[in-house]
Chains A and B, each alone.
Chain A
């Protein structure tokens, strides 16, 4: 079969690019251990308030884990608990969030923290808060009449 020289060039280029893109995802998933925010951790949505760690929403210091703090959020129509929280600059934090009723969004604007909260599932994201400032949390999954009023705030302070 005759393949034009130029065709060979762009076929090799295309396949190589694809391999690079897929390798990045592969390294991220299997070497760095990144996973989707909602990854099979479950909870009874009717007993969220009584189950750890969601019985104590807010920033909790933890010992003996890969992260220093756990930042716990409970979403319900149409607010987040806590409504505002302070995080020390440079803290390694695991953000844990779930919902008591319908599907909500959890998007910390201007950061990589962007999760969907589904009833019955716990969404998690581990990160280091290395930039000071105020970060608005908004719901980006339409959840009902008060959807646009649903917000919270993370203040990263020194």
Chain B
């Protein structure tokens, strides 16, 4: 009996569950947000008398 499903087996990309790519991205997203806001406030401080 033909089993058509067998030929169509697709390869799904399985990422290693211990991968920290997403964590790295979110850490740097937060980090850059903190730096940008800090620099913004500092420039405001410098531009005022």
Q: Which residues of A contact B (CB under 8 A)?
A: 4, 6-7, 9-10, 13-14, 17, 21, 24, 110-113, 127-131
Contacts and interface: CB of A to CB of B under 8 A. Distances in A.
Given A128-B49, A131-B49, A10 B38 contact: no
Interface in B28-49: 28, 31, 34-35, 38, 42, 45, 48-49
B38 A21 contact: yes
Contact of B27 (A10, A111, A129, A131): A10
A10 to B, nearest CB: 5
Interface of B: 20-21, 23-24, 27-28, 31, 34-35, 38, 42, 45, 48-49
Given A112-B49, A130-B49, A17 B35 contact: yes
A14 B38 CA distance: 14
**Which secondary structure characterizes the binding site on chain B?**
helix
28 contacts: A4-B20, A6-B20, A6-B21, A6-B24, A7-B20, A9-B24, A10-B27, A10-B28, A10-B31, A13-B31, A14-B31, A17-B31, A17-B34, A17-B35, A21-B38, A24-B42, A110-B48, A111-B48, A111-B49, A112-B45, A112-B48, A112-B49, A113-B49, A127-B49, A128-B49, A129-B49, A130-B49, A131-B49
Which 4 pairs of residues, A with B, have the shortest CB-CB distance? A6-B20, A6-B24, A10-B27, A112-B48
A82 B47 CA distance: 27
A43 B18 CA distance: 63
Contacts, number: 31
